[in-house]
Amino acid sequence: MENGEIESADEEMPSSSGRQYRPVGSHDRAVIEMSSMESGSSPNIPKKKLSVVPQVEITGNDMEGSSQTHDGLNGDHKESKLELFGFDSLVTILGLKSMTREQVPTSSSPRDGENISITLGRPKETGPKLGTMMGVFVPCLQNILGIIYYIRFTWIVGMGGIGESLMLVAFCGTCTFLTAISLSAIATNGAMKGGGPYYLIGRALGPEVGVSIGLCFFLGNAVAGAMYVLGAIETFLDAVPGAGFFRESVTIVSNSTSLPMNVTTTTVSTPSIHDLQLYGVVVTILLCFIVFGGVKIINKVAPAFLIPVLFSLFCIFVGAFVAPRSNAPSGITGLKLSTLKDNWSSDYQRTTNAGIPDLQGPIYWNFNALVGLFFPAVTGIMAGSNRSASLKDTQRSIPIGTLAATLTTTMLYLISVILFGSLATREELLTNRLLTAEVAWPLPAIIYVGIILSTLGAALQSLTGAPRLLAAIANDDILPVLKYFKVTEGEEPHFATLFTAFICISCVIIGNLDLITPTITMFFLLCYAGVNLSCFLLDLLDAPSWRPRWKFHHWSLSLLGALICIVIMFLISWTFTVVSLALVTLIYYYVSIKGKAGDWGDGFKSAYFQLALQSLRSLGANQVHPKNWYPIPLIFCRPWGKLPDNVPCHPKLADFANCMKKKGRGMSIFFSIIDGDYHELAEDAKNACHQLSTYIDYKRCEGVAEIIVAPTMSDGFRGIVQTMGLGNLKPNIVVMRYPEIWRRENLTQIPSTFVSIINDCIIANKAVVIVKGLDEWPGEYQRQYGTIDLYWIVRDGGLMLLLSQLLLTKESFESCKIQVFCIAEEDTEAEELKADVKKFLYDLRMQAEVIVITMKSWEVHMEGGPQQDESLEAFTSAQRRIAAYLEEMKETARKEGKPLMADGKQVVVNEQQVDKFLYTTLKLNSTILRYSRMSAVVFVSLPPPPLNHPAYFYMEYMDLLVENVPRMLIVRGYRRDVVTLFT
């Protein structure tokens, strides 16, 4: 197959949207040859091919130099309009796809001997996605409203009184509300995968913390399943006393005064612990069978479990207002102010293990103990994040749904405290375990059914969710001992389900709900503290990747939420707290020693970047994850012009260096090159370095100064780009001004030096930012208005997008708006490209207007009528100068009897290709002048120097590109992504 041809498949490629896409053919205009030389110009360049196969994968090797025209092979083939800019053009609508995965492959232009693989088409739809209501709000509401409210809340009001119960609800509600705010911030900082809070904590605080807290959260969910089962069985036995095999009666001894003759005894029937154990084990086994056989059905009908809960709540509130009814116990007084006053204060006393008041009971209750008992009633705020993989828009649904459910249930609890405290006497509140059913209208059976269905549904969710959490931890392959719980995609975690069932049955055998709930509380509090600490660390570090859409957060709120979680843990039981923290610590150290390293771009690594040498050792020499990427510019101070001797760096270059940092964070390296012999100029270099260092301190630039002595500027730059920096603190962006004075007769070496520097940056894997119009760059207090326009031609790892966002953080540009111009070659591609780019920018938390310009609109603008574009004069002038330069080269070659030479090396000039490059830059310059003449800054992709072209030609291409544009940043990324969709 000839160079640049495209193999076609017979069958059509499927589309997720229902449309059919035909295979790409060699005559399609969307297929763009992005090479810098013709394959026939050098016999040493191997042939390459670009093929599209039915599996929608494109494979190519060595795309460099595939620009051979096909006029002789295919008369219908149209020449590419963007050949100059390299292979990775946005026109192909392929560059954005690789950023939608967390482990982003290296982004580079293909080189000799390399293969590339690009996936075409949209992501495969896995099924219908859920919105805010059914995906987040309903699951959170279902998990929060549970057994504690029905069978323990009235008892808590009776024991703590209305006053302390209100304080209890407000205290616990504040904890979950602050945690929900932190959760919202982290969840809106990028796309989420499965694993819920484990995924968020692990990616923010590192794999060790994530696995340790994730395992405890798994245990909490497993134990919660036992709590729900016991609650359902206890309600069933109270509703159907004859179903118990070991029914027991308890004699209550109470004393309302200090006088001995006022002692009263009451006999109360209560379920036996043996019945709870027997029924609990049977129900748990049945639920496990359901989990094994019908998980998909469970997930579909799970929201239906909320209907009995909501209806039962309605019945309870209606019954409270119509109480007391004719058959009601004497303790139910109805809503009375006198009852409210009697129940306002607390009445802590001893009870049996079942919570029945008894002067000889083994348990003495206080406020701390009530916190441990009630806190599981406010948990469940993570239910929405646990379903992140099933949500349409996690960044919108999780904050709204979670906070709405938290506020709704907290208000419900506060109202219920006053309602129950005004409804019944204290003795009725403490002895009637199902007072909610007693007052419900019209029948108590409604509450029994509601409790049983809601608790069994919650238990089913726990037995379904906990194994998947364990499988998610195992699949990350951090902890080797969990390898048995790993599952492949689409496979059910059967072994993890059996292990979860074993833990659940073990807790059911304990049989005491009041002893289980504090254990659950500790595990959930550890998870909530981890979420708050994650948000605290990320917000405090404020790395460039930290751009959450949820703006109503602050590191102080996250820190307060974490402290409240820790306080609640110690209030409940310092013994349980110490044991829980010891367990987390042991798992942490075990993972640190035995676990495998996982580069998740966590917040601790961002902190290491700010801790000098110790941070450097911690990071190692591996490439930095996009979430931890910081711009470290290498700023070329004195090229392409002479500054006064007392000014070692252009003042506007120092201002621009500050624009590449977020809130001043980051390091810059300012360097200059002195031509000459090092032994003779070493002292001068030291003095110049001191002068430069003093100057950048005066300009308030965080950075270091370096002066290099070298025979030539090219040699000096080549040495500094290889050796500057240490470990991951090596500079990653080379910044310099555009050589606008290169045409002067005494500066004939600028083109070759300029091209040499760019080629050295490409080889050294450094990004390049060239500032055109540096003298017009705004100072620190010169406010700019209008737009920042991005002409995103080549996939650059997101560097251009990130730099534009960093500009917006500066006072000079904060009033500007970003416009992203993408180029398509067909009108049919425009809408799809625009939708893809808008979705991509939305996932990156970047606000920008997307404008797609087609090649057709360019041609109409250039050919439609007698009006002449002001760039045409520059175009014809460049053609004349190149022709004269080429003729001079040919004349020299004929005289010397040598091949065509330029810049000390042999070159091969294809005049047709030169005209195409000039025409490409002409059209792009015309478009920039048409749409962005009044913009504050214009960004455009930097085309690489074409292979085997004279440096003089490249300078003509660049001059035509920047013609009449007052302020421009020409950007080329490197083989790493600097932005990511994921949190």
What single-letter amino acid sits at 411?
A: M
pLDDT in the model for residue 81: 55
Averaged pLDDT for residues 599-611: 65
Helix 513-541 and helix 494-510, axial crossing angle in degrees, nearest 10 = 130
pLDDT band at 150 (very low <50, low <70, confident <90, very high): confident
Distances (CA, A) of 697 to 6, 19, 53, 666, 685: 56, 59, 57, 14, 18
Which is higher by pLDDT, 41 or 889? Answer: 889
Taking 90 as the threshold, does the pLDDT of residue 981 lie above it? no
Q: Which residue has the tokens 């360019």?
A: 858
Q: How far apart are CA 79 and CA 82, in angstroms?
A: 9
Taking 80 as the threshold, does the pLDDT of residue 607 lie above it? no
Taking 50 as the threshold, does the pLDDT of residue 61 lie above it? no
Give the DSSP H/E element, type plus range, for residue 704.
strand 703-710
Q: Which residue has the tokens 């798992």?
A: 587
What is the DSSP code (8-state) at residue 847? -
Pairing assessment for the beta strands 248-255 and 263-270 based on DSSP bridges: antiparallel
What single-letter amino acid sits at 78?
A: K
| Candidate ranges 93-97, 445-449, 801-805, 908-912; pick with highest mean pLDDT | 801-805
pLDDT band at 924 (very low <50, low <70, confident <90, very high): confident
Buried b or exposed e, range 446-469, using 16+ CB within 10 angstroms: bbbbbbbbbbbbbbbbbbbbbbbb
**Mean pLDDT, the chain, whole residue set:** 77
Pairing assessment for the beta strands 733-737 and 787-791 based on DSSP bridges: unpaired
pLDDT in the model for residue 576: 84
- Over residues 751-794, the pLDDT tens digits come to 999 999 999 999 988 889 999 988 888 877 788 888 999 998 87
Proportion of the chain in helix, strand, coil states, percent, rounded to 5: 55, 10, 35
Taking 70 as the threshold, does the pLDDT of residue 608 lie above it? no
pLDDT band at 517 (very low <50, low <70, confident <90, very high): low
Who's near 55: CB < 8 A, 6+ residues apart?
A: none
- Cα 59 to chain centroid distance, Å, stands at 30
User: Considering only 127-136, 361-370, 483-492, 797-806, which range has the smallest mean pLDDT?
Assistant: 127-136
Q: How far apart are CA 478 and CA 701, in angstroms?
A: 41
Which is higher by pLDDT, 104 or 893? Answer: 893
Averaged pLDDT for residues 717-728: 83
pLDDT in the model for residue 55: 40
- Cα 690 to chain centroid distance, Å, stands at 42
What residues does 817 pair with on adjacent strands? 787
Taking 50 as the threshold, does the pLDDT of residue 501 lie above it? yes
pLDDT in the model for residue 538: 83
pLDDT in the model for residue 856: 57
- Over residues 455-467, the pLDDT tens digits come to 887 788 788 878 8
Instruction: Name the residue among 778, 771, 803 with its Cα closest to residue 641.
Output: 771
pLDDT in the model for residue 778: 86
pLDDT in the model for residue 390: 66
- Over residues 539-597, the pLDDT tens digits come to 887 777 788 888 888 889 999 999 999 999 888 888 888 888 888 888 888 888 877 76
pLDDT band at 161 (very low <50, low <70, confident <90, very high): very high
Averaged pLDDT for residues 240-245: 78
pLDDT in the model for residue 58: 38
- Over residues 520-551, the pLDDT tens digits come to 778 889 999 989 988 888 888 777 778 888 88
Q: How far apart are CA 889 and CA 953, in angstroms?
A: 12
Taking 60 as the threshold, does the pLDDT of residue 63 lie above it? no
- Over residues 817-832, the pLDDT tens digits come to 999 988 877 766 778 8
pLDDT in the model for residue 591: 85
pLDDT band at 356 (very low <50, low <70, confident <90, very high): confident
pLDDT in the model for residue 195: 72
pLDDT in the model for residue 326: 77
Q: How far apart are CA 520 and CA 501, in angstroms?
A: 16
Averaged pLDDT for residues 876-884: 88
Q: 669 near 633, Cβ under 8 Å? A: yes
- Over residues 402-430, the pLDDT tens digits come to 999 999 999 999 999 999 999 999 988 98
Instruction: Name the residue among 444, 476, 756 with its Cα closest to residue 602.
Output: 476
pLDDT in the model for residue 704: 87
Q: 288 near 463, Cβ under 8 Å? A: yes
- Phi, psi at 193, each rounded to 5°: -105, -170
Whether residue 324 is preceded by a cis peptide bond, meaning omega within 30 degrees of 0, is: yes
What residues does 735 pair with on adjacent strands? 635, 769
Which is higher by pLDDT, 921 or 46? Answer: 921
| Candidate ranges 59-63, 527-531, 863-867; pick with highest mean pLDDT | 527-531
Which is higher by pLDDT, 645 or 709? Answer: 709
pLDDT band at 861 (very low <50, low <70, confident <90, very high): very low
Which is higher by pLDDT, 253 or 326? Answer: 326
pLDDT in the model for residue 417: 94
Instruction: Name the residue among 944, 926, 938 with its Cα closest to residue 967.
Output: 938
* Percent of the chain surpassing pLDDT 90: 14
Q: 657 near 734, Cβ under 8 Å? A: no
Pairing assessment for the beta strands 817-824 and 248-255 based on DSSP bridges: unpaired
Which is higher by pLDDT, 396 or 542? Answer: 396
Q: Three-state SS string across 422-461, please?
A: CCECHHHHHHCCCHHHHHCCCCHHHHHHHHHHHHHHHHHH
pLDDT in the model for residue 43: 41
Q: How far apart are CA 221 and CA 223, in angstroms?
A: 5
Averaged pLDDT for residues 826-854: 82
What single-letter amino acid sits at 777?
A: W
- Phi, psi at 931, each rounded to 5°: -100, -20
pLDDT in the model for residue 33: 33
pLDDT in the model for residue 35: 34
Taking 50 as the threshold, does the pLDDT of residue 48 lie above it? no
pLDDT in the model for residue 69: 41
pLDDT band at 665 (very low <50, low <70, confident <90, very high): low
pLDDT in the model for residue 443: 82
pLDDT band at 120 (very low <50, low <70, confident <90, very high): very low
Averaged pLDDT for residues 854-880: 63
Q: For residue 932, with 0-12 CB atoms within 10 Å meaning exposed, 13-18 middle and 19 or more buried, which class applies?
A: buried
Taking 60 as the threshold, does the pLDDT of residue 598 lie above it? yes
State the DSSP string of 785-817.
Answer: -SEEEEE--B--TTHHHHHHHHHHTSTTTTT-E
Q: For residue 100, with 0-12 CB atoms within 10 Å meaning exposed, 13-18 middle and 19 or more buried, which class applies?
A: middle
pLDDT in the model for residue 298: 65
Q: Could you tell me the pTM of the whole model?
A: 0.69
Who's near 343: CB < 8 A, 6+ residues apart?
A: 157, 158, 161, 162, 421, 422, 425, 426, 429
pLDDT in the model for residue 414: 95
Q: 2 near 72, Cβ under 8 Å? A: no
pLDDT in the model for residue 128: 54
Which is higher by pLDDT, 571 or 34? Answer: 571
Q: 779 near 70, Cβ under 8 Å? A: no
Angle at 104 between CA 103 and CA 105, to 5 degrees: 115
* Percent of the chain surpassing pLDDT 70: 75
